[in-house]
């Protein structure tokens, strides 16, 4: 006989901790949220379900978003302080201009884990690993969050806080608190995930010089061949003809139209962003498991392709996969303002801007193996209202799950932008606690002043320019 559900007995759940601000998720947004909130001595906790902080900054990706489409630096403040700390130990590159991605900042995953943790501990943040948020504690009316329910080796616990900042990327807290959420495009299709992997022994100078010297053989998307002649740290996107040839000549199964190679900080090391599994829902463990299994199966053929067809890979050897499948898109909250494609493409100013972004709309299409890229030509603002979920008080959301459409999410999702949102969320929480108001009621001008006073970059609204 098949059972649909079982009824667990009611139980009392111990309260493990109480904070002023609780940050859930220690990725790019969670890191800066916690650092900002903890700056003046508030009690700040951070709960992370993995054994390290950094989120997707630890899977071999470059941080995108620091530079705008006009080449100017548009994200400073705490995200820049973090990069400076990484640089001091050789864990990050300069912000390098890139014609396709605007700016790339290479980071070393292990250095990210260590420096992010050091900064959190120095700031007095109480970090708890191996602990997942699986539920919420609400007030009686069900409209105000009071804390979260966690699960770990020690079972279930409650953690209470005056304000909770959801930085899970998946809006795990907001969703459980009853905030309306959306997923994917108009058909519910979400961008496919990728299991990044790392290869060493690559002659990256041969790779870039081959592209620079034989641009017709090694054709790249949007990045002129000369660029590769001048830059030793770079991202290759393209080489579509080589993939077609490998499919035809060897029957290799390459799940991507584009070759995407990211140089690492160490000589001869590159990260490959080419596995791609359609139909994965990153909020469903079975679906995630299917994604991990399928992506891992894809690696052999991709590696064979790189070694046989791409210059510089002749002596390459496989070193490691990233610690987890990289999820591009899951839930987005519906907040007080839903950022949309027009806001991005019209380079819109908002009076309540809390961060500036410039990354193009970049959607790995859910339905096929291609990608849509649309640039706006300059920068656009992220409004504070998009961090405020509908229906629930004392909750702020930062990172890729803020209130946007599928298209706008394709632009605001990059990691420097998520860090900038995190800083704003942490400062907003601090202001709300100081003034004893809800995050929805804070004076946004005061938040902007606080952000600027701490080095963050905001544009002057056109009406005041
Ligand atoms: C394959 C791939 C390639 C990408 N390429 C780039 C790129 O080149 N450059 C770039 O800047 N961006 C890139 N992005 C986008 C970027 O990585 C993400 O959008 C960004 O990391 C989102 O930041 P976040 O802080 O919102 O979430 P995350 O980085 O996902 O961090 C969320 C954190 O919360 C934790 N968490 C989740 N749920 C819970 C829970 N219930 N309880 C406790 N902890 C929880 C997670 O373990 C994680 O540490 C890429 C994304 C993918 C998947």
Q: Are residues 156 and 301 in the same domain?
A: no
User: Is residue 465 over pLDDT 90?
Assistant: no
Mean of the pLDDT values across residues 34-59? Answer: 97
pTM of the entire structure? 0.97
In this predicted structure, what is the pLDDT of residue 311? 97
User: Is residue 285 over pLDDT 60?
Assistant: yes
In sign, the C-alpha dihedral spanning 214, 216, 222, 226 is positive
Q: Are residues 334 and 309 in the same domain?
A: no
* CA distance to 76, 193, 333, per residue, from 226 (Å): 29, 31, 42
In this predicted structure, what is the pLDDT of residue 348? 97
Q: Are residues 261 and 216 in the same domain?
A: yes
Minimum-distance ligand 1 atom for the alpha carbon of 50: 47
Q: Are residues 270 and 347 in the same domain?
A: no
Task: With respect to residue 60, please indicate whether it lies within any of the assigned structural domains.
Answer: yes
Ligand 1: which of 95, 169, 327, 416 to mutate, judged by most atoms within 8 Å of the beta carbon? 169
Q: Are residues 305 and 352 in the same domain?
A: no
User: Is residue 113 over pLDDT 60?
Assistant: yes
Q: Are residues 315 and 333 in the same domain?
A: no
Task: With respect to residue 2, please indicate whether it lies within any of the assigned structural domains.
Answer: no
Task: With respect to residue 7, please indicate whether it lies within any of the assigned structural domains.
Answer: no
Q: Are residues 91 and 168 in the same domain?
A: yes
Task: Find, among 114, 43, 28, 124, the residue nearest to 79 by Cα.
Answer: 28
Helix (H) / strand (E) element for 244: namely helix 240-250
Task: With respect to residue 255, please indicate whether it lies within any of the assigned structural domains.
Answer: yes
Domain count, the chain: 2
Task: With respect to residue 439, please indicate whether it lies within any of the assigned structural domains.
Answer: yes
Task: Find, among 444, 454, 455, the residue nearest to 350 by Cα.
Answer: 444
Going by alpha carbons, the residue nearest to atom 39 of ligand 1 is 168
Task: With respect to residue 182, please indicate whether it lies within any of the assigned structural domains.
Answer: yes
Q: Are residues 258 and 334 in the same domain?
A: no
Task: Give the whole-angstrom CA distance, residue 369 versus residue 254.
Answer: 10
Task: Find, among 335, 283, 402, 350, the residue nearest to 29 by Cα.
Answer: 402
- Read off the CATH number of the domain in which 137 is found: 3.50.50.60
pLDDT tens digits, 326-350: 999 999 999 999 999 999 999 999 9
Q: Are residues 143 and 74 in the same domain?
A: yes
Using CB distances shorter than 6 Å, the residues near ligand 1 are 24-30, 47-50, 55-56, 61-65, 132-133, 167-170, 172, 193-194, 273, 326-328, 399-400, 413-415, 418
Q: Are residues 42 and 172 in the same domain?
A: yes
Q: Calculate how far, in angstroms, residue 84's C-alpha sits from the geometric centre of ligand 1.
A: 21
In this predicted structure, what is the pLDDT of residue 367? 84
- Residue 36 CB neighbour total at 10 angstroms: 29
Is the Cβ–Cβ distance between 155 and 12 less than 8 Å?
Answer: no
Percentage of residues of the chain with pLDDT beyond 90: 95
Mean of the pLDDT values across residues 49-76? Answer: 97
List b or e across 97-122, with b for residues whose CB sees 16 or more CB atoms inside 10 angstroms: ebebbbbbbbbbbebbbbbbbebbee
Task: Find, among 276, 281, 270, the residue nearest to 257 by Cα.
Answer: 276
Q: Is 168 left (phi over 0), alpha (psi -120 to 50) or beta?
A: alpha
Q: Calculate how far, in angstroms, residue 414's C-alpha sits from the geometric centre of ligand 1.
A: 9
Mean of the pLDDT values across residues 164-192? Answer: 96
pLDDT tens digits, 120-177: 999 999 999 999 999 999 999 999 999 999 999 999 999 999 999 999 999 999 999 9
For 35, which DSSP code? Answer: H
**Pick from 57-61, 98-102, 109-113: least confident:** 98-102
User: Is residue 460 over pLDDT 90?
Assistant: no
Q: Calculate how far, in angstroms, residue 401's C-alpha sits from the geometric centre of ligand 1.
A: 10
E strand intervals along 42-82:
44-47, 63-64
Task: Find, among 253, 256, 257, the residue nearest to 240 by Cα.
Answer: 257
Task: With respect to residue 362, please indicate whether it lies within any of the assigned structural domains.
Answer: yes
What residues form DSSP beta bridges with 395?
164
Ligand 1: which of 26, 56, 192, 331 to mutate, judged by most atoms within 8 Å of the beta carbon? 56
Task: Give the whole-angstrom CA distance, residue 78 versus residue 422.
Answer: 9
Lookup: tokens for 97? 């201009």
pLDDT band at 247 (very low <50, low <70, confident <90, very high): very high
Task: Find, among 434, 417, 425, the residue nearest to 361 by Cα.
Answer: 417
Q: Are residues 67 and 213 in the same domain?
A: no
In this predicted structure, what is the pLDDT of residue 3? 85
Q: Are residues 286 and 343 in the same domain?
A: no
Domain final residue pick, 266, 298, 321: 321
Minimum-distance ligand 1 atom for the alpha carbon of 326: 53
Mean of the pLDDT values across residues 429-451? Answer: 97
Mean of the pLDDT values across residues 206-216? Answer: 93
Structural domain of 227: 197-321
Domain final residue pick, 321, 354, 370: 321
Task: Find, among 35, 143, 19, the residue nearest to 425 by Cα.
Answer: 35
Domain final residue pick, 321, 356, 390: 321
Task: With respect to residue 33, please indicate whether it lies within any of the assigned structural domains.
Answer: yes
């Amino acid at each position: 006989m098949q059972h649909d559900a079982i009824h667990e007995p009611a139980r009392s759940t111990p309260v493990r901790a109480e904070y002023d601000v609780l940050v859930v998720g220690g990725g790019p947004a969670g890191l800066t949220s916690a650092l900002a909130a903890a700056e003046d001595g508030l009690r700040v906790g951070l709960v992370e379900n993995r054994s390290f902080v950094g989120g997707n900054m630890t899977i071999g990706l470059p941080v995108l978003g620091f530079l705008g489409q006009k080449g100017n630096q548009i994200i400073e403040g705490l995200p820049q302080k973090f990069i400076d700390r990484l640089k001091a130990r050789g864990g990050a590159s300069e912000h390098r201009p890139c014609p396709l991605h605007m700016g790339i900042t290479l980071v070393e995953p292990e250095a990210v884990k260590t420096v992010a943790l050091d900064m959190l501990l120095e700031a007095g943040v109480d970090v708890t690993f191996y602990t997942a948020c699986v539920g919420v504690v609400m007030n009686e009316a069900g409209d105000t969050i009071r804390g979260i329910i966690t699960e770990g080796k020690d079972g279930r616990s409650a953690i209470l806080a005056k304000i909770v900042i959801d930085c899970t990327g998946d809006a795990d807290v907001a969703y459980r608190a009853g905030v309306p959420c959306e997923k994917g495009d108009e058909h519910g299709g979400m961008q496919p995930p990728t299991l990044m992997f790392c290869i060493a022994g690559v002659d990256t100078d041969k790779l870039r010089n081959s592209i620079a010297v034989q641009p017709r053989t090694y054709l790249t998307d949007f990045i002129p061949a000369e660029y590769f002649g001048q830059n030793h740290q770079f991202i290759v996107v393209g080489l579509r003809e080589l993939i077609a040839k490998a499919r035809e000549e060897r029957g290799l199964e390459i799940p991507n139209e584009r070759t995407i190679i990211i140089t690492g900080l160490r000589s001869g090391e590159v990260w490959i962003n080419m596995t791609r599994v359609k139909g994965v829902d990153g909020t469903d463990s079975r679906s995630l498991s299917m994604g991990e299994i399928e992506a891992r199966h894809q690696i052999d053929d991709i590696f064979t392709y790189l070694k046989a067809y791409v210059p510089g890979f002749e002596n390459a050897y496989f070193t490691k996969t990233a610690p987890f499948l990289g999820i591009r898109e899951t839930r987005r909250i519906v907040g007080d303002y839903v950022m949309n494609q027009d806001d991005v493409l019209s380079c819109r100013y908002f009076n309540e801007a809390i961060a500036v972004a410039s990354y193009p709309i970049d959607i790995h299409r859910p339905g096929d193996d291609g990608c849509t890229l649309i640039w706006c030509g300059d920068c656009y603002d992220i409004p504070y209202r998009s961090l405020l979920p509908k229906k629930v008080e004392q909750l702020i959301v930062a990172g890729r799950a803020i209130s946007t459409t599928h298209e706008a999410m394709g632009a605001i999702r990059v990691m420097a932008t998520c860090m900038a949102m995190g800083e704003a969320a942490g400062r907003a929480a601090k202001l709300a606690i100081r003034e004893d108001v809800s995050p929805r009621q804070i004076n946004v001008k005061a938040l902007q002043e606080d952000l600027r006073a701490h080095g963050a970059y905001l544009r002057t609204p056109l009406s005041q320019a």
